[in-house]
Structure 1
Amino acid sequence: MSAAIAPKDVVFYSFLKPWLGDGLLLSAGDKWSSHRRMLTPAFHFNILKPYVKIFNDSINVMHAKWKRLVSEGSTRLDMFEHISLMTLDSLQKCVFSFDSNCQEKPSEYIAAILELSALVAKRHQQIFVHTDFLYYLTPDGKRFRRACRLVHNFTDAVIQERRRTLPDEGVDDFLKAKAKAKTLDFIDILLLTKDQDGKGLSDEDIRAEADTFMFAGHDTTASGLSWVLYNLAKHPEYQERCRQEVQELLRDREPKEIEWDDLAQLPFLTMCIKESLRLHPPVTVVSRCCTQDVVLPDGRVIPKGVICLISIFGTHHNPTVWTDPEVYNPFRFDPENIKDRPSLAFIPFSAGPRNCIGQTFALTEMKVALALTLLRFRVLPDKEEPRRKPELILRAEGGLWLRVEPLSAGPQ
């Protein structure tokens, strides 16, 4: 459906509004289409390429922490906790060129984002506080306001500082020089972008898009990565095959880092990620409101005004589309097996005009993180089987615990 016929349902997303404003995730109509057009270049591979170095660096910090914890006797790790901090760390660098060192020491800004995500998820479950008036009287509502203020102040300060350092004239040349030096971040791109009439984004718009990217980019990728490590821990034969693919690729290289051109050379690892995104999609459901009657292929009609929930999880587990849907089988994504499958059978990044603008960013980060993790560690299942817990994203109840064993420092 076009974005005009099926805009997002307001109720479902409204709790995020005070935090994320009118960014791509929540805006609608002309504003959405104009911003989507303006932001698409921000996710062009030329912009994404330099981010690969940032991903490597953030993942190295996480792995150093894992090795330290293992040497102190902690081999059981909550993947969600560690990987969320890693994705937030790299996002802060990609969005703001800011290094909070949040994987090593507490960061107020990062704590606020984690708190906001938890509060929104909690509020969804409590129907009595769905009205703003009541919610903001509760202790949770007050915490939500405080965390929102902190996040907004951080983003505003970066935007103001960046505006101040931009020259009055020759902005384009200034930014082109940054692009050449490969130091363009998301805020630069937002400051640079113009619509067809040459009009740029307001500071409020820039804040909304930056905050949206920070929110939408950390939890989802952390969920995807945590579950793929779980699936590979449960299937050591696939884990080993991925590891050999990475070892082969980086055989003669020091230091062992993943580069942009390597991403296309990891076909089996990519199949493993996709199959995990099928079994455990980070976003389990999206909702749309029909602004006109929608006729389905069998002739039935969804009447105008109806809110539809599209279950991504349900679609991915539908036995009429997927044989043995509960079985983890990466070969489903072998190029030969994809040919006859309907394109909307696999929708981890949603679909249609409002699909996820950051999907290449997310898949790139997941490939780099998975490749380096399997190169350095063996991942084993925990005694306890995790229980899936769908919140804003698909989590595991009480965290997703796995055991990690560093691989010998010998030939990798």
Structure 2
Amino acid sequence: DENGVGLSDEDLRAEVDTFMFGGHDTTASGISWILYCLSLYPEYQQRCREEIQGILGQRETVQWEDLGKMTYSTMFIRECLRLYPPVPGVSRQLSKPITFPDGRTLPEGSVTVISIFAIHRNPSVWKDPLVFDPSRFSPENVSGRHSHAFLPFSAGMRNCIGQQFAMNELKVALALTVLRFELSPDPANPPCKVPRITLHSKNGIHLYLKKIR
């Protein structure tokens, strides 16, 4: 820190645990649900594929400058993260009392649990919240939305430090998948959501892949 004091072994382990968890399990959950959504919505899958083909041409690798061009694919990914947030809830301990506009208060030291999953499906925040619609994340639709309506990486001082890296991972995974495969769901094995630390499927995610390239 600013006084030259280093991390203790316990502090160091906590940091390593955070990086391992934040860079592995959450991203795996995000990719899994994105592949599931691609299989469910073939028209959106095709739009993503056409965008990627237009960006990459005959190339089969993604370059850094390609990531910023994936406009529609990014909208699709964000809609997946809305309905299937990799971390469905977070908790915070209050460092000071808080009073809400209606007069209710919470004392210092209270632990509050925030359901990201519920916020993302709240009909008072999102119109037709269970309808999958990537256009929710077009620039004109995003501009009028509350900054805390969409929280796949949490928010505030304790938000996800790796969110930009994670988004890039998700873009690359989507791009290279739709470039090579056509995805469809397995109707006999629909996923059963389990809200643990990350959003899992109790019975896995079963898809059919048809090679196209």
TM-score bracket for this pair, using the shorter chain length: over 0.9
Q: Which residue of 176, 185, 198 corresponds with 1:393? A: 198
Q: Does 1:308 align with 2:95?
A: no
Structure 1 equivalent of residue 22 of structure 2: 216
Q: Which residue of 221, 230, 243 corresponds with 2:49? A: 243
How far apart are the structure 1 equivalents of 2:83 and 2:58?
35
Deviation, structure 1 residue 207: 4.0
* CA displacement 1:60-81 (0-9 Å, x = unmatched): xxxxxxxxxxxxxxxxxxxxxx
Q: Which residue of 129, 132, 138 corresponds with 1:328? A: 132
Instruction: Classify the secondary structure of the residue corresponding to 1:265.
Output: coil
Q: Which residue of 225, 228, 231 corresponds with 2:34? A: 228
CA distance 1:285–1:248, change in 2 (3 Å): same
Q: Which residue of 56, 73, 80 corresponds with 1:269? A: 73
How far apart are the structure 2 equivalents of 1:299 and 1:329?
37
* CA displacement 1:376-402 (0-9 Å, x = unmatched): 111111122211111111111111111
Kindly indicate whether the alpha-carbon contact (under 8 Å) linking 2:38 and 2:44 is maintained by their aligned counterparts in 1.
yes
Q: Does 1:339 align with 2:132?
A: no
Kindly indicate whether the alpha-carbon contact (under 8 Å) linking 2:89 and 2:197 is maintained by their aligned counterparts in 1.
no
How far apart are the structure 1 equivalents of 2:5 and 2:94?
31
How far apart are the structure 2 equivalents of 1:298 and 1:322?
23
Deviation, structure 1 residue 347: 0.5
* CA displacement 1:350-382 (0-9 Å, x = unmatched): 111001111111111111111101101111111
Q: Does 1:296 align with 2:136?
A: no
CA distance 1:200–1:272, change in 2 (3 Å): same
How far apart are the structure 2 equivalents of 1:233 and 1:196?
50
Instruction: Classify the secondary structure of the residue corresponding to 1:298.
Output: coil
CA distance 1:208–1:322, change in 2 (3 Å): same
Deviation, structure 1 residue 204: 5.4
How far apart are the structure 1 equivalents of 2:9 and 2:107?
39
Overall identity of the aligned pairs, in %: 54
Matched to 1:220, the amino acid is T
Alignment of 1:6-405 (within 5 A): 195-201=1-7, 205-253=11-59, 256-383=60-187, 384-405=189-210
CA RMSD of aligned residues (A): 1.6
TM-score with structure 2 length normalisation?
A: 0.93
Count of aligned positions: 212
Instruction: Classify the secondary structure of the residue corresponding to 1:343.
Output: coil
- Structure 1 portions without partners, runs of 5+: 1-194
How far apart are the structure 1 equivalents of 2:108 and 2:125?
28
Instruction: Choose between structure 1 and 2: higher helix proportion.
Output: 1
